[in-house]
Amino acid sequence: MNVLVVGGAGFIGSHMVKQLGRSGCRVTTLDNLSNGHRDAVLYGDFVQGDLADKDLLAQLIQPGRFDAVMHFASFIQVGESVQEPAKYYENNVANTLRLLEAMRLAGVNRFVFSSTAATFGQPLYSPIDEKHPQQPINPYGRSKWMVEQILDDFDHAYGLKSVCLRYFNAAGADPEVQLGERHEPETHLIPLVLQVASGKKPHISVFGRDYDTPDGTCVRDYVHVADLCDAHRLALESLIHGADSQQYNLGNGNGYSVQEVIETARRVTGQTISTVDAPRRDGDPDRLVADATQAKKVLGWQPQWTSLDEIVAHAWAWEKSLPQ
Ligand code: UFG
Protein backbone atom coordinates (compact mmCIF):
# COMPACT_ATOMS: atom_id res chain seq x y z
CA MET A 1 0.00 0.00 0.00
CA ASN A 2 1.21 3.53 -0.85
CA VAL A 3 0.37 6.20 1.70
CA LEU A 4 1.09 9.91 1.57
CA VAL A 5 1.57 11.35 5.06
CA VAL A 6 1.21 15.12 5.06
CA GLY A 7 2.91 16.56 8.12
CA GLY A 8 4.91 13.37 8.63
CA ALA A 9 7.81 15.26 10.24
CA GLY A 10 5.69 16.52 13.13
CA PHE A 11 4.92 14.96 16.51
CA ILE A 12 2.08 12.59 15.65
CA GLY A 13 2.89 12.34 11.92
CA SER A 14 6.42 11.09 12.57
CA HIS A 15 5.12 8.31 14.82
CA MET A 16 2.66 7.39 12.06
CA VAL A 17 5.38 7.23 9.42
CA LYS A 18 7.37 4.90 11.65
CA GLN A 19 4.37 2.63 12.23
CA LEU A 20 3.47 2.53 8.53
CA GLY A 21 7.08 1.95 7.51
CA ARG A 22 7.46 -0.87 10.01
CA SER A 23 4.30 -2.54 8.76
CA GLY A 24 5.62 -2.66 5.21
CA CYS A 25 3.66 0.23 3.68
CA ARG A 26 5.36 2.45 1.14
CA VAL A 27 5.19 5.81 2.78
CA THR A 28 5.92 9.28 1.43
CA THR A 29 6.10 12.27 3.76
CA LEU A 30 5.23 15.77 2.59
CA ASP A 31 6.21 18.42 5.12
CA ASN A 32 7.31 22.04 4.87
CA LEU A 33 9.38 21.70 8.07
CA SER A 34 7.80 24.83 9.53
CA ASN A 35 7.26 22.87 12.74
CA GLY A 36 8.47 19.38 11.87
CA HIS A 37 11.96 17.91 11.89
CA ARG A 38 13.58 16.14 8.93
CA ASP A 39 15.37 13.71 11.24
CA ALA A 40 12.02 12.58 12.69
CA VAL A 41 11.09 10.94 9.37
CA LEU A 42 12.51 7.48 9.86
CA TYR A 43 10.97 5.64 6.90
CA GLY A 44 10.13 6.15 3.24
CA ASP A 45 10.54 9.10 0.91
CA PHE A 46 10.61 12.68 2.04
CA VAL A 47 9.40 15.68 0.05
CA GLN A 48 9.92 19.13 1.50
CA GLY A 49 7.12 21.33 0.32
CA ASP A 50 4.07 23.33 1.17
CA LEU A 51 0.40 22.57 0.66
CA ALA A 52 0.01 26.08 -0.73
CA ASP A 53 2.12 24.96 -3.72
CA LYS A 54 -0.49 23.67 -6.18
CA ASP A 55 2.09 22.67 -8.79
CA LEU A 56 3.99 20.60 -6.29
CA LEU A 57 0.78 18.88 -5.21
CA ALA A 58 -0.15 18.09 -8.82
CA GLN A 59 3.32 16.71 -9.47
CA LEU A 60 3.37 14.62 -6.31
CA ILE A 61 -0.16 13.27 -6.29
CA GLN A 62 -0.18 11.57 -9.67
CA PRO A 63 -3.01 9.22 -10.62
CA GLY A 64 -2.31 5.73 -9.33
CA ARG A 65 0.55 6.72 -7.02
CA PHE A 66 -1.20 6.77 -3.62
CA ASP A 67 -3.91 4.56 -2.16
CA ALA A 68 -4.63 6.98 0.68
CA VAL A 69 -3.60 10.25 2.29
CA MET A 70 -3.20 10.96 6.01
CA HIS A 71 -3.17 14.63 6.93
CA PHE A 72 -1.42 15.80 10.11
CA ALA A 73 -0.15 19.21 8.98
CA SER A 74 -1.89 22.02 10.77
CA PHE A 75 -1.35 24.81 13.23
CA ILE A 76 -2.50 23.69 16.69
CA GLN A 77 -2.29 26.53 19.20
CA VAL A 78 -5.67 27.67 20.42
CA GLY A 79 -4.43 31.00 21.84
CA GLU A 80 -2.50 31.89 18.70
CA SER A 81 -5.56 31.07 16.58
CA VAL A 82 -7.52 33.74 18.44
CA GLN A 83 -4.79 36.33 17.76
CA GLU A 84 -4.08 35.27 14.16
CA PRO A 85 -7.21 33.63 12.71
CA ALA A 86 -6.15 34.31 9.11
CA LYS A 87 -3.08 32.13 9.58
CA TYR A 88 -5.27 29.29 10.87
CA TYR A 89 -7.94 29.46 8.21
CA GLU A 90 -5.30 29.75 5.47
CA ASN A 91 -3.26 26.77 6.62
CA ASN A 92 -5.81 24.51 8.25
CA VAL A 93 -8.69 25.11 5.83
CA ALA A 94 -7.49 26.59 2.51
CA ASN A 95 -4.39 24.41 2.31
CA THR A 96 -6.39 21.31 3.21
CA LEU A 97 -8.80 22.19 0.42
CA ARG A 98 -5.86 22.37 -2.01
CA LEU A 99 -4.77 18.93 -0.87
CA LEU A 100 -8.27 17.51 -1.30
CA GLU A 101 -8.52 19.07 -4.73
CA ALA A 102 -5.22 17.51 -5.80
CA MET A 103 -6.48 14.16 -4.50
CA ARG A 104 -9.73 14.54 -6.38
CA LEU A 105 -7.94 15.33 -9.64
CA ALA A 106 -5.72 12.25 -9.20
CA GLY A 107 -8.61 9.99 -8.18
CA VAL A 108 -7.31 9.31 -4.64
CA ASN A 109 -10.41 8.80 -2.55
CA ARG A 110 -9.31 7.73 0.94
CA PHE A 111 -8.40 10.32 3.56
CA VAL A 112 -7.63 10.14 7.28
CA PHE A 113 -7.85 13.51 8.95
CA SER A 114 -6.48 14.74 12.30
CA SER A 115 -9.38 16.49 13.95
CA THR A 116 -9.73 17.57 17.55
CA ALA A 117 -11.81 17.75 20.69
CA ALA A 118 -11.70 21.51 20.12
CA THR A 119 -14.47 21.06 17.52
CA PHE A 120 -16.91 20.49 20.42
CA GLY A 121 -16.34 23.76 22.27
CA GLN A 122 -17.62 23.97 25.84
CA PRO A 123 -18.79 20.47 26.77
CA LEU A 124 -22.50 20.14 27.46
CA TYR A 125 -21.93 16.73 29.05
CA SER A 126 -19.04 14.42 29.84
CA PRO A 127 -17.62 12.12 28.58
CA ILE A 128 -18.01 13.53 25.08
CA ASP A 129 -19.27 11.14 22.42
CA GLU A 130 -19.60 11.73 18.67
CA LYS A 131 -23.22 12.92 19.05
CA HIS A 132 -22.15 15.87 21.20
CA PRO A 133 -22.98 19.15 19.39
CA GLN A 134 -20.03 20.78 17.62
CA GLN A 135 -19.87 24.41 18.64
CA PRO A 136 -16.19 25.33 18.57
CA ILE A 137 -15.24 28.42 20.56
CA ASN A 138 -12.00 29.43 18.84
CA PRO A 139 -10.64 29.69 15.28
CA TYR A 140 -8.50 26.56 15.72
CA GLY A 141 -11.53 24.43 16.57
CA ARG A 142 -13.59 26.11 13.86
CA SER A 143 -10.88 25.47 11.24
CA LYS A 144 -10.94 21.74 11.99
CA TRP A 145 -14.72 21.65 12.07
CA MET A 146 -14.85 23.40 8.68
CA VAL A 147 -12.68 20.67 7.21
CA GLU A 148 -14.95 18.03 8.71
CA GLN A 149 -17.86 19.69 6.88
CA ILE A 150 -15.90 20.01 3.64
CA LEU A 151 -15.22 16.29 3.88
CA ASP A 152 -18.94 15.57 4.19
CA ASP A 153 -19.54 17.54 1.01
CA PHE A 154 -16.64 15.89 -0.84
CA ASP A 155 -18.00 12.48 0.06
CA HIS A 156 -21.46 13.42 -1.16
CA ALA A 157 -20.28 15.03 -4.39
CA TYR A 158 -17.12 13.12 -5.30
CA GLY A 159 -17.24 9.90 -3.27
CA LEU A 160 -14.13 10.82 -1.27
CA LYS A 161 -14.22 8.60 1.83
CA SER A 162 -12.70 9.97 5.00
CA VAL A 163 -12.22 9.21 8.66
CA CYS A 164 -11.96 12.19 11.02
CA LEU A 165 -10.16 11.31 14.24
CA ARG A 166 -10.84 13.78 17.01
CA TYR A 167 -7.92 13.61 19.38
CA PHE A 168 -8.30 14.70 22.95
CA ASN A 169 -4.84 15.39 24.47
CA ALA A 170 -2.13 13.69 22.42
CA ALA A 171 0.81 12.87 24.67
CA GLY A 172 3.57 10.35 25.41
CA ALA A 173 6.37 9.39 23.04
CA ASP A 174 7.70 6.50 21.00
CA PRO A 175 8.18 3.59 23.44
CA GLU A 176 11.53 2.92 21.67
CA VAL A 177 12.55 6.53 22.40
CA GLN A 178 13.30 7.40 18.78
CA LEU A 179 10.61 10.07 18.54
CA GLY A 180 8.72 12.48 20.75
CA GLU A 181 7.38 15.98 21.15
CA ARG A 182 9.64 18.78 19.88
CA HIS A 183 7.36 21.78 19.46
CA GLU A 184 9.01 25.18 19.38
CA PRO A 185 7.81 26.94 21.37
CA GLU A 186 6.41 24.12 23.53
CA THR A 187 2.99 24.94 24.95
CA HIS A 188 1.72 21.53 26.04
CA LEU A 189 1.49 20.59 29.69
CA ILE A 190 3.34 17.25 29.89
CA PRO A 191 6.50 18.21 27.94
CA LEU A 192 6.67 21.51 29.83
CA VAL A 193 6.35 19.78 33.21
CA LEU A 194 9.14 17.40 32.16
CA GLN A 195 11.35 20.32 31.12
CA VAL A 196 10.98 21.54 34.69
CA ALA A 197 11.90 18.06 35.96
CA SER A 198 15.03 18.03 33.79
CA GLY A 199 16.07 21.46 35.01
CA LYS A 200 15.50 23.31 31.71
CA LYS A 201 12.76 25.46 33.21
CA PRO A 202 12.45 26.77 36.75
CA HIS A 203 8.75 26.06 37.26
CA ILE A 204 5.47 25.13 35.62
CA SER A 205 2.68 27.70 35.58
CA VAL A 206 -0.68 26.27 36.60
CA PHE A 207 -3.25 28.11 34.51
CA GLY A 208 -6.17 28.49 36.90
CA ARG A 209 -7.07 26.79 40.17
CA ASP A 210 -10.67 27.94 40.31
CA TYR A 211 -12.26 25.59 37.77
CA ASP A 212 -15.30 23.52 38.58
CA THR A 213 -13.25 20.34 39.08
CA PRO A 214 -12.32 18.37 42.22
CA ASP A 215 -8.99 20.17 42.78
CA GLY A 216 -9.82 23.34 40.83
CA THR A 217 -7.42 22.68 37.93
CA CYS A 218 -8.46 21.70 34.38
CA VAL A 219 -9.16 18.07 33.61
CA ARG A 220 -7.98 16.50 30.34
CA ASP A 221 -7.97 13.07 28.72
CA TYR A 222 -4.37 12.22 27.77
CA VAL A 223 -4.00 9.67 24.99
CA HIS A 224 -0.74 8.05 23.93
CA VAL A 225 0.60 9.00 20.51
CA ALA A 226 1.25 5.32 19.67
CA ASP A 227 -2.41 4.55 20.38
CA LEU A 228 -3.48 7.44 18.16
CA CYS A 229 -1.37 5.92 15.38
CA ASP A 230 -3.05 2.55 15.89
CA ALA A 231 -6.40 4.28 15.40
CA HIS A 232 -5.13 5.84 12.16
CA ARG A 233 -4.00 2.47 10.87
CA LEU A 234 -7.38 0.92 11.70
CA ALA A 235 -9.16 3.87 10.08
CA LEU A 236 -7.11 3.37 6.93
CA GLU A 237 -7.89 -0.35 6.90
CA SER A 238 -11.60 0.40 7.30
CA LEU A 239 -11.49 2.67 4.26
CA ILE A 240 -9.56 0.10 2.23
CA HIS A 241 -12.28 -2.43 3.09
CA GLY A 242 -14.93 -0.06 1.78
CA ALA A 243 -16.22 1.53 5.00
CA ASP A 244 -18.23 4.70 4.80
CA SER A 245 -16.92 8.06 6.01
CA GLN A 246 -16.87 8.32 9.81
CA GLN A 247 -15.81 10.48 12.73
CA TYR A 248 -14.38 9.06 15.97
CA ASN A 249 -13.41 10.56 19.31
CA LEU A 250 -10.07 9.29 20.60
CA GLY A 251 -9.21 9.35 24.28
CA ASN A 252 -8.94 6.98 27.21
CA GLY A 253 -12.06 8.16 28.99
CA ASN A 254 -10.01 9.06 32.08
CA GLY A 255 -9.77 12.67 33.11
CA TYR A 256 -6.63 13.90 34.91
CA SER A 257 -6.29 17.37 36.38
CA VAL A 258 -3.27 19.60 35.79
CA GLN A 259 -2.38 19.03 39.45
CA GLU A 260 -2.58 15.24 38.99
CA VAL A 261 -0.34 15.44 35.93
CA ILE A 262 2.26 17.34 37.94
CA GLU A 263 2.06 14.83 40.81
CA THR A 264 2.41 11.94 38.34
CA ALA A 265 5.48 13.59 36.81
CA ARG A 266 7.02 14.01 40.28
CA ARG A 267 6.44 10.32 40.97
CA VAL A 268 7.70 9.09 37.58
CA THR A 269 10.80 11.29 37.43
CA GLY A 270 11.66 11.41 41.12
CA GLN A 271 12.41 15.11 40.61
CA THR A 272 11.17 18.21 42.35
CA ILE A 273 8.78 20.14 40.12
CA SER A 274 8.03 23.68 41.25
CA THR A 275 4.72 25.26 40.36
CA VAL A 276 3.55 28.85 40.12
CA ASP A 277 -0.14 29.74 40.11
CA ALA A 278 -1.12 31.73 37.02
CA PRO A 279 -4.38 33.11 35.64
CA ARG A 280 -6.69 30.98 33.52
CA ARG A 281 -5.66 30.62 29.89
CA ASP A 282 -8.26 31.94 27.43
CA GLY A 283 -10.54 29.35 25.91
CA ASP A 284 -9.75 26.45 28.28
CA PRO A 285 -12.86 24.39 29.09
CA ASP A 286 -12.77 22.95 32.64
CA ARG A 287 -13.10 19.32 31.56
CA LEU A 288 -12.52 17.47 28.27
CA VAL A 289 -12.93 13.71 28.46
CA ALA A 290 -13.65 11.41 25.52
CA ASP A 291 -16.15 8.64 25.10
CA ALA A 292 -14.26 6.49 22.59
CA THR A 293 -16.76 3.61 22.56
CA GLN A 294 -17.37 4.01 18.82
CA ALA A 295 -13.70 3.73 17.85
CA LYS A 296 -13.42 0.59 19.97
CA LYS A 297 -16.62 -0.94 18.68
CA VAL A 298 -16.41 -0.09 15.00
CA LEU A 299 -12.67 0.14 14.33
CA GLY A 300 -11.62 -2.38 16.99
CA TRP A 301 -9.32 0.22 18.58
CA GLN A 302 -7.64 -1.06 21.75
CA PRO A 303 -5.36 1.54 23.28
CA GLN A 304 -2.29 -0.07 24.87
CA TRP A 305 -0.82 2.72 26.98
CA THR A 306 -3.78 3.91 28.96
CA SER A 307 -2.24 4.83 32.29
CA LEU A 308 -1.00 8.36 32.82
CA ASP A 309 2.14 6.93 34.49
CA GLU A 310 3.07 5.09 31.28
CA ILE A 311 2.32 8.10 29.11
CA VAL A 312 4.46 10.36 31.31
CA ALA A 313 7.21 7.71 31.61
CA HIS A 314 7.56 7.52 27.82
CA ALA A 315 7.59 11.31 27.50
CA TRP A 316 10.23 11.43 30.27
CA ALA A 317 12.46 8.89 28.50
CA TRP A 318 12.23 11.08 25.40
CA GLU A 319 12.94 14.30 27.32
CA LYS A 320 16.04 12.69 28.85
CA SER A 321 17.27 11.63 25.39
CA LEU A 322 17.28 15.25 24.19
CA PRO A 323 20.33 17.49 24.58
CA GLN A 324 20.22 18.80 28.16
N1 UFG B 1 -1.53 24.07 31.23
C2 UFG B 1 -0.99 24.68 32.35
N3 UFG B 1 0.26 25.19 32.24
C4 UFG B 1 1.00 25.14 31.11
C5 UFG B 1 0.44 24.50 29.97
C6 UFG B 1 -0.83 23.98 30.07
O7 UFG B 1 -1.62 24.76 33.40
O8 UFG B 1 2.13 25.67 31.08
C9 UFG B 1 -2.88 23.49 31.33
C10 UFG B 1 -3.85 24.07 30.31
O11 UFG B 1 -4.42 25.24 30.79
C12 UFG B 1 -4.82 22.90 30.15
C13 UFG B 1 -3.97 21.66 30.38
O14 UFG B 1 -2.80 22.12 31.04
O15 UFG B 1 -5.78 22.97 31.15
C16 UFG B 1 -3.57 20.98 29.11
O17 UFG B 1 -3.00 21.97 28.24
P18 UFG B 1 -2.27 21.61 26.88
O19 UFG B 1 -1.80 22.91 26.30
O20 UFG B 1 -1.28 20.54 27.10
O21 UFG B 1 -3.41 20.98 26.00
P22 UFG B 1 -4.82 21.61 25.58
O23 UFG B 1 -5.84 20.85 26.36
O24 UFG B 1 -4.88 23.06 25.66
O25 UFG B 1 -4.81 21.32 24.04
C26 UFG B 1 -5.05 20.10 23.43
C27 UFG B 1 -4.34 20.11 22.09
C28 UFG B 1 -4.88 21.20 21.21
C29 UFG B 1 -6.38 21.04 21.10
C30 UFG B 1 -7.01 20.94 22.46
C31 UFG B 1 -8.46 20.58 22.32
O32 UFG B 1 -2.97 20.24 22.26
O33 UFG B 1 -4.29 21.14 19.94
O34 UFG B 1 -6.41 19.94 23.25
O35 UFG B 1 -9.16 21.22 23.31
F36 UFG B 1 -6.92 22.09 20.50
The predicted-structure confidence for 178-231, as pLDDT tens digits, reads as follows: 999 998 889 999 999 999 999 999 999 999 999 999 999 999 999 999 999 999
More confident residue, 97 or 78: 97
pTM exceeds cut of 0.95:
yes
**Atom 30, ligand 1: residue with shortest CA distance:** 118
What is the model's pLDDT at position 197? 98
What percentage of the chain reaches a pLDDT higher than 70? Answer: 100
- In whole angstroms, give the CA distance from residue 294 to residue 93: 26
- Secondary structure of residue 274 in the 3-state scheme: coil
Residue numbers annotated as active site: 140
| CATH number, domain with residue 269 | 3.90.25.10
Ligand 1, from 77, 147, 201, 207: best to mutate by most atoms within 8 Å of Cβ? 207
- When divided into structural domains, the chain yields a total of 2
- The domain in which residue 29 lies consists of 2-170+223-250
Ligand 1, from 11, 138, 140, 188: best to mutate by most atoms within 8 Å of Cβ? 188
CB 8 within 8 A of CB 16: yes
Return the ligand 1 atom nearest residue 193 CA.
8
The residue type of 300 is G
Residue range 45-93, pLDDT digits in tens: 999 999 999 999 999 999 999 999 999 999 999 989 999 999 999 999 9
Per-residue pLDDT band for 5 (boundaries 50, 70, 90) equals: very high
Return the ligand 1 atom nearest residue 190 CA.
20
- In whole angstroms, give the CA distance from residue 189 to residue 211: 17
Task: Compute the distance from residue 36 Cα to the ligand 1 centre, in Å.
Answer: 20
What is the model's pLDDT at position 64? 97
**Is any ligand 1 atom within 6 A of the Cβ of residue 30?**
no
Mean pLDDT throughout 22-29? 97
Mean pLDDT throughout 145-164? 98
Both 130 and 239 in one domain: the answer is yes
Q: What count of other Cβ atoms lies within 10 Å of the Cβ of residue 24? A: 8
Mean pLDDT throughout 151-178? 98
DSSP label at residue 150: H
The residue type of 36 is G
Identify whether 181 is part of a domain: yes
| CATH number, domain with residue 98 | 3.40.50.720
Closest among 265, 275, 279 to 313, alpha carbons compared: 265
Both 75 and 178 in one domain: the answer is no
**Atom 36, ligand 1: residue with shortest CA distance:** 118
Per-residue pLDDT band for 324 (boundaries 50, 70, 90) equals: confident
Both 142 and 193 in one domain: the answer is no
**Atom 21, ligand 1: residue with shortest CA distance:** 188
What is the model's pLDDT at position 302? 98
Helical residues (DSSP H) of 119-198, grouped into ranges:
139-158, 189-197
Return the ligand 1 atom nearest residue 76 CA.
33
Both 23 and 138 in one domain: the answer is yes
Average pLDDT, the chain: 97
Residues 6+ apart with CB under 8 A from 8: 14, 16, 17, 27, 29, 30, 31, 36, 41, 46, 72
CB 136 within 8 A of CB 118: yes
**Is any ligand 1 atom within 6 A of the Cβ of residue 281?**
yes
**Is any ligand 1 atom within 6 A of the Cβ of residue 207?**
yes
- With 90 as the cut, is the pLDDT of residue 283 above it? no
**Is any ligand 1 atom within 6 A of the Cβ of residue 117?**
yes
Per-residue pLDDT band for 138 (boundaries 50, 70, 90) equals: very high
Cα dist. 117→179, 190, 265, 269, 291 in Å? Answer: 24, 18, 24, 29, 11
Both 34 and 137 in one domain: the answer is yes
Identify whether 51 is part of a domain: yes
Radius of gyration over alpha carbons of the chain, in Å?
19
Residue range 250-274, pLDDT digits in tens: 999 999 999 999 999 999 999 999 9
Ligand 1, from 115, 169, 228: best to mutate by most atoms within 8 Å of Cβ? 169
Return the ligand 1 atom nearest residue 280 CA.
11
**Is any ligand 1 atom within 6 A of the Cβ of residue 119?**
no
Least confident of 155-164, 192-201, 283-292: 283-292
Both 15 and 113 in one domain: the answer is yes
Both 161 and 116 in one domain: the answer is yes
Per-residue pLDDT band for 282 (boundaries 50, 70, 90) equals: confident
Q: Is the preceding omega at residue 127 within 30 degrees of 0, hence cis?
A: yes
What is the model's pLDDT at position 233? 98
